[in-house]
Amino acid sequence: MPPQVWAHATPSAPKNTHSGRPNTQRNRQKDLPSRRPTHTLGVVTPNGAAIRTIREARGMSLQRLARLIERSPGFVSRVETEDRGASPETLGRIATALRTPIHAITREKPRDQDEPGPRT
């Protein structure tokens, strides 16, 4: 009788989940690049009032902008009222849809304003 080989006996085989399928999520996470930003100059946040002003000046409805950037109208509304932030990718989509440079719809806050310094 040939010797039995168990999948969990080898150190490189993924462990089985409760459903019996191999858990490969850990391996995938190790292979993915880091999602940390490469710059540390400042934090870019959306300027909701500017987005709304430019959108209205272009005669564009909130629903139309939402369709163009592939987000919900509720999301766009919350960005415009500054109840929610937006990723750099989404800000780029908004700028493209409004045909305006990205710096016209964002604010940059220096990094040192994020972290409280020592009190003197």
What is the domain-level CATH number for residue 73?
1.10.260.40
Number of domains in the chain: 1
What's the pLDDT at 108?
77
71 occurs within a structural domain: yes
20 occurs within a structural domain: no
19 occurs within a structural domain: no
25 occurs within a structural domain: no
- Three-state DSSP at 21 gives coil
Mean pLDDT of the region 22-50 = 61
Residue whose pair of structure tokens reads 């080989």 in the numeric block: 5
Q: Which residues contact 92 (CB under 8 A, 6 or more apart)?
A: 102
Cβ-contact 69, 86 below 8 angstroms: no
| H-helix segments, the chain | 25-31, 48-57, 62-69, 73-80, 88-97
6 occurs within a structural domain: no
- Exposed, middle or buried: residue 81 (CB in 10 Å: 0-12, 13-18, 19+)? exposed
Q: Which two tokens stand for residue 101?
A: 């440079």
Q: Which residues contact 100 (CB under 8 A, 6 or more apart)?
A: 54
The pTM assigned to this predicted structure is: 0.57
Q: What is the pLDDT of residues 103-114, one digit of tens each?
A: 999 887 655 544
Q: What is the pLDDT of residues 4-19, one digit of tens each?
A: 555 555 555 555 555 6
54 occurs within a structural domain: yes
Q: Does 57 have pLDDT greater than 50?
A: yes
Structural domain span for residue 67: 44-109
16 occurs within a structural domain: no
Give the model's confidence band at 40: pLDDT under 50 very low, under 70 low, under 90 confident, else very high. very low
Q: Does 86 have pLDDT greater than 50?
A: yes
How crowded is the C-beta side of 116, counted as CA atoms within 13 Å? 3
